[in-house]
Structure 1
């Protein structure tokens, strides 16, 4: 896999926006609590069976290492497209066959696992683009910004379902399965041209301005998600115009690469005017300077690209700390979220309220993902 020859900061930020849009729609499994009760009644599934279906998506992620192997030989856009295709297969067949009498619990479990594996492929593509397209001191923030938007997936899917199928109160399960299957595919087709490797921009000022703008947009999006969820039961602004306003906020990160492109064009114009007023440097001296810079950049890139093998990583304390935090904390949260629909029903709440609870947990989960990277970015400075 090779890097694009372009080192424009606008392309760098455009690739980050592409990963953000992919991650927004890369959590279709998070809306499972909204329609799990209906699925339970429709297919006569026990509560234990519902719990196992919630686990099915994670079971598919056990084979996520296939995406890592594929990424060695395939460009990132094709890795993301493969993940979207697996989601289309997993959720699309459930949508088509859900009402069929011979469509059993085993089929639902297997297809949910296939869709869960597709999530890993999109994650891998997004991680690689962020890591390759940003320098070592800023790639963690880029990855954090991108992955934080996964927390909004359930919120986005509930808003989309409410906006598209607002006149149809029945068959909620089929509505969510339909959107879960086609939304990631459509987004992957849109962002495919920008899911590629480029030479990372080393300009500190451009990176600082870009991240400040990104964090501002991200915080505004999260606040809007919470306010919109709290007001979702009203029949005024939130019921009609809110989906459009949320869509504008989700598209607003595109402002950063556009602004960087404009800034780069202005700098080029000023540089050309300045060069017309000064003498050219000696060609030989300039060639030596350029050659030294190229050698230095190659050494830096070589140092940054050194990886850790699969056996070596098992010997690192950081790996086991990361593993333990997922095993004993994050997974417990997933158990709660996956059963949120059943919890709401057991408390006597109508099923219509479940989407509100899922949206609210999704919105706060978005901030939970974002704040550690926000703190890391400013503390590292």
Structure 2
């Protein structure tokens, strides 16, 4: 049974979600940015420069994609996870060492390199988990991408819960934790993240169950965040709430067990592509199969550049908001606790956009034949409204605007 579980795509999927749950350090920059600014003697312009390299590293996934293409041929994409773990540790550890004066204060370009390494690791974790999920569930691409990206979005709130429970106002300790926790998690679970070229029964049912668990985790986190802002919680209560969170994150094991039991009573089937199923299961002759292109072929198409420009504009403006939540909050007289709460809530909205965007686009693709880029247009328009709300500066506008921007940013 142990061997069969190890060869199960559900074990691979759950392991990937756990890695994703600790990989979103990118979204916690506002927590330690002020410490980085004061200890290194940066002004806001210099801090923004460092932040740009964070965004550049996190969104530069070419190397991770190339490495995945080669490593996946062997025995799973563990090499991609390993490369991400090494970069994550080096980037955050060296930043922590600079902040606590363990090493001399590095020049700004060197600090930018540290930040780039730390953020670049996320693209390796994300590529390995998302692409493996897509290859394991080719008919439910939108759903599995939404789940993986959703847990990545939740990871910001999860990491901040760890910070507020065990190391509140100790941002240097938080930096050290970011250097250790994501690499350790990846090294523990990367061995079971594999590609399984077979179709199992009730895949949609199990994926919906995993989506429901993700929604429960998000709702629980949101309740805890709101409660912390209403009532001061004792350390013992914080620890209990964190233990409950860990149990919720461990609950997908039940899906693995149930899928294994159901698999024992069914026969695996070869894959049909998403396009094949659309044609077989839908009378609309307008639906066509997608064309598989490599990177160079894709770059030569107009569709690639339209999507590239749209995502650059949409994600760029969203990143500008999350990177400067601390500074925006300070200008509006928010406390440091309220600012970290905003960052945690941003992760919740980001998660809802990621999960909902994948699920809804999958639904309308299969039921109506609507192309996924149509939803990108809708979310970019809604994000513009969110930016206007934040820019208004009225009381509560930052909370309301961050909801719109966070959801729309996550759905890209």
TM normalised by structure 1 equals 0.82
Structure-1 residue corresponding to 2:383:
none
Q: Relative to structure 1, is the Cα distance of residues 90 and 150 closer, same or farther in structure 2, using a 3 angstrom cutoff?
A: same
Structure-1 residue corresponding to 2:311:
326
Structure-1 residue corresponding to 2:128:
125
Output the CA distance in 2 between the equivalents of 1:372 and 1:366. 10
Q: Give ranges in structure 2 of 5+ residues lacking alignment.
A: 277-288, 368-412
Greater mean alpha carbon deviation, residues 55-64 or residues 339-348: 55-64
**1:114 deviation in Å?**
1.1
**1:240 deviation in Å?**
3.9
Structure-2 residue corresponding to 1:184:
182
Output the CA distance in 2 between the equivalents of 1:130 and 1:253. 15
Partner of residue 8 from structure 2, selected from 8, 11, 24: 11
Structure-2 residue corresponding to 1:93:
94
Q: Relative to structure 1, is the Cα distance of residues 21 and 62 closer, same or farther in structure 2, using a 3 angstrom cutoff?
A: closer
Output the CA distance in 1 between the equivalents of 2:208 and 2:338. 36
Structure-2 residue corresponding to 1:282:
none
Q: Which has the higher contact order (CA 8 A, sep 6+)?
A: 1
Root-mean-square deviation over aligned CA pairs = 2.9
Structure-2 residue corresponding to 1:28:
25
Q: Relative to structure 1, is the Cα distance of residues 305 and 196 closer, same or farther in structure 2, using a 3 angstrom cutoff?
A: farther
**1:185 deviation in Å?**
1.1
**1:317 deviation in Å?**
4.4
**1:130 deviation in Å?**
0.9
**1:236 deviation in Å?**
4.2
TM-superposition CA deviations, 1:15-46 (whole Å, max 9, x none): 11111111122221210111212221221111
How is 1:8-87 mapped onto 2 (pairs within 5 angstroms)?
11-61=8-58, 63-74=60-71, 75-87=76-88
**1:92 deviation in Å?**
0.9
1:155 has 2:144 as partner = no
**1:315 deviation in Å?**
3.9
Q: Relative to structure 1, is the Cα distance of residues 218 and 314 closer, same or farther in structure 2, using a 3 angstrom cutoff?
A: same
Output the CA distance in 2 between the equivalents of 1:375 and 1:299. 21
Output the CA distance in 2 between the equivalents of 1:23 and 1:349. 30
Output the CA distance in 1 between the equivalents of 2:239 and 2:273. 52
**1:77 deviation in Å?**
1.3
Number of aligned positions between the proteins: 343
Structure-1 residue corresponding to 2:224:
228
Structure-1 residue corresponding to 2:199:
201
Partner of residue 336 from structure 2, selected from 343, 351, 360: 351
Q: Relative to structure 1, is the Cα distance of residues 202 and 317 closer, same or farther in structure 2, using a 3 angstrom cutoff?
A: farther
How is 1:231-310 mapped onto 2 (pairs within 5 angstroms)?
231-233=227-229, 234-236=231-233, 239-265=238-264, 267=265, 297=270, 307-310=292-295
**1:300 deviation in Å?**
6.5
- Give 1 or 2 for the bigger CA radius of gyration: 1
**1:80 deviation in Å?**
0.9
Q: Relative to structure 1, is the Cα distance of residues 236 and 43 closer, same or farther in structure 2, using a 3 angstrom cutoff?
A: closer
TM-superposition CA deviations, 1:113-149 (whole Å, max 9, x none): 1112211111221123112222x31233212211111
SS of the residue corresponding to residue 138 of structure 1 reads: helix
Output the CA distance in 2 between the equivalents of 1:144 and 1:35. 28
Structure-2 residue corresponding to 1:285:
none
Q: Give ranges in structure 1 of 5+ residues lacking alignment.
A: 1-5, 272-292
**1:298 deviation in Å?**
8.4
Output the CA distance in 2 between the equivalents of 1:20 and 1:31. 19
Structure-1 residue corresponding to 2:350:
365
**1:13 deviation in Å?**
1.4
Output the CA distance in 2 between the equivalents of 1:8 and 1:35. 40
Q: Relative to structure 1, is the Cα distance of residues 115 and 107 closer, same or farther in structure 2, using a 3 angstrom cutoff?
A: same
Q: Relative to structure 1, is the Cα distance of residues 39 and 212 closer, same or farther in structure 2, using a 3 angstrom cutoff?
A: same
Q: Is the 8 A contact 1:84 1:118 kept in 2?
A: yes
Output the CA distance in 1 between the equivalents of 2:41 and 2:210. 46
